[in-house]
Amino acid sequence: MTLEDGVRYSVDSGVATVTFDRPDRNNAMNLAMERRYGEVLRALEADPNVRAIVVTGAGKAFCPGADLDVLAGDIPEGGIDFQVEHVQAAAFIGKPVIAAINGGCAGLGFIIACTSDVRFAAAGAKFTTAFVRRGLIAEYGIAQLLPDLVGRGRAMDVLLSGRTFTAEDALAYGLVQEVYAPQDLLAAAQAYAAELAAYSAPRSMAVMKRQILDEAAIPLAEAGDRSAELMAESFKHPESKEGVMSWLERRPPEFPPYRR
């Protein structure tokens, strides 16, 4: 496990665990950390030994957002290099990303959680969008992501107020899918990821992620037509036969790695 620019990761039995680990800043992100996070996710996407990814934080925080020292200083004449492709990386890679939100999740960290595919949280973990209370706007696409996750009214609430809410609130809002005791969170997220790695076809998961992104804003009939084309295409790949045969033979599937 190598720590570089505040991000470390390890791989075990098809599951990669990516950890924000910048204890001197409570896992707050500077530009180097943002970049490293995106690079790590794309490297794991390309690794055939990885089938699912868990993202979490070291210590008591997930990620409290951007390192405010970056904003407190003089802004360079050319502006800040907003690294959208790194911050949004989880949404676009072809492997499932599960956020294990172990503690404080704010601002940029909140966005990273929302770009993940599934979110688990530790009981009592605190969430806030924070932007409005720093004189900022809804960054990095969160104005689209959040209404999709919690509905327009709740999204307006947490964005306009910038108020703090708990993991239990987040569960009620639909923002997180499960809440666990803090000591059980990471193991639960890794077990969920391990189940995906063992039983879900990598190509199927990659295509489904792309469908969710591409079909959200098109008419239902068009989405149906697209899915029919994708279904016909899926029959040409070995995952389909293996999925059926493993079921008939009552054994775990042996799906091949998926490469774009």
pLDDT along the chain (260 residues), means of 10: 87 97 94 95 96 97 86 56 87 97 97 98 97 90 95 97 97 98 98 97 94 88 90 85 86 86
pTM of the model: 0.92
Residues 6+ apart with CB under 8 A from 194: 13, 14, 15, 52
Q: What is the pLDDT of residue 71?
A: 59
C-alpha distances (whole Å) from 82 to each of 31, 79, 85, 184, 196 are 8, 9, 9, 35, 32
Going through 13-114 in order, the beta strands assigned E by DSSP cover 15-20, 52-57, 61-63, 97-101, 104-106
pLDDT given at position 113: 98
pLDDT for res 218: 87
Give the model's pLDDT for residue 76: 55
Would you say 159 and 146 are in contact if contact means Cβ atoms under 8 Å apart? yes
User: What is the spatial distance between Cα 18 and Cα 37, in angstroms, rounded to a whole number?
Assistant: 8
Provide the pLDDT for residue 243: 86
Query: How confident is the model at residue 13, as a pLDDT?
Result: 93
